């Protein structure tokens, strides 16, 4: 069982529900990883990030390799892999598996984290499916992440969400065998065929 050192963290309660909530500033009071688990904060709620599986890491490293190879010839942004904090508001801080920052938004890359909505986020489904498919999808749409992919190894599919209007995604599904074009990065496609 994991316990969090909450004694130094001020407890706040929502007036409407009486529910405890946290802010990004509270996370600074926890010991840093690896002394404590990785923590995401979504709408003030804490989520512990579990260790990735070998399949998860194989997918992540392959996608990262393909993006980096593309960026060597086409310097259109920067890519980061977990763990890196993406701070979207004072009550929202996530640790996406892969985060892409476009060249035109380099100012959101700060010394300790990313502060603002990246151009493209990829989440690789591990244990908490609802977190990726529902909670994070809603969060990323709300803050204007233009492209969000869910890599679902168990179901052998990739779901690609494109922001079409404020807070609304259009979804497309692809099999693992497909080469998928990144909508917001011209010329970049990702291929996972043959990985497993």
Domain residue ranges of the chain, discontinuous segments joined by +: 6-49, 54-191
Q: Is the dihedral of CA 172, 176, 177, 181 positive or negative?
A: positive
| Percent of the chain predicted with pLDDT > 90 | 72
- Give residues with Cβ within 8 angstroms of 19, minimum separation 6: 13
Q: Is 26 exposed, middle or buried (0-12, 13-18, 19+ CB in 10 A)?
A: buried
State whether residue 21 is helix, strand or coil.
strand
pLDDT tens, residue by residue, 79-137: 999 999 999 999 999 999 999 999 999 999 999 999 999 999 999 998 889 999 999 99
Q: Is the pLDDT of residue 174 over 80?
A: yes
Enter the pTM of the model.
0.91
Q: What is the predicted pLDDT for the residue at 7?
A: 59
The band of 35, judged by pLDDT with boundaries at 50, 70 and 90, is low
* CATH number 1.20.120.1230 is the correct assignment for the domain at 54-191: no
Q: Is the pLDDT of residue 1 over 60?
A: no
Lowest-confidence pick of 26-35, 107-116, 121-130, 138-147: 26-35
Q: Is the pLDDT of residue 31 over 90?
A: no
Q: What is the predicted pLDDT for the residue at 74?
A: 98
Q: What is the predicted pLDDT for the residue at 163?
A: 97
Number of residues that make up the chain: 196
**Residue 91 contacts residue 21 (beta carbons within 8 Å):** yes
Residue recorded with tokens 């989520």: 47
Q: What is the predicted pLDDT for the residue at 139?
A: 97
Tell me the pLDDT of the chain averaged across its residues: 91
């Amino acid at each position: 069982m994991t316990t969090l050192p909450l004694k130094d963290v001020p407890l706040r309660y929502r007036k409407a529900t009486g529910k405890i909530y946290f802010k990004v500033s509270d996370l600074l009071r926890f010991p840093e990883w690896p002394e404590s688990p990785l923590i995401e904060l979504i709408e003030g709620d804490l989520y512990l990030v579990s260790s990735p599986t070998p399949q998860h890491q194989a997918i992540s490293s392959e996608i990262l390799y393909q993006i980096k190879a593309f960026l060597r010839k086409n310097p259109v942004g920067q890519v980061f892999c977990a763990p890196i904090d993406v701070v979207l508001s004072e009550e929202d801080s996530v640790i996406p598996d892969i985060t892409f920052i476009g060249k035109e938004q380099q100012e959101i890359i700060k010394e300790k984290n990313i502060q603002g909505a990246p151009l493209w986020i990829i989440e690789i489904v591990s244990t908490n499916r609802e977190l990726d498919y529902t909670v994070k999808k809603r969060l990323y749409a709300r803050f204007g992440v233009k492209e969000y992919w869910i890599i679902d190894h168990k179901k052998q599919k990739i779901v690609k969400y494109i922001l079409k209007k404020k807070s609304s995604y259009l979804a497309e599904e692809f099999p693992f065998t497909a080469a998928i074009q990144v909508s917001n990065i011209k010329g970049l496609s990702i291929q996972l065929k043959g990985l497993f």
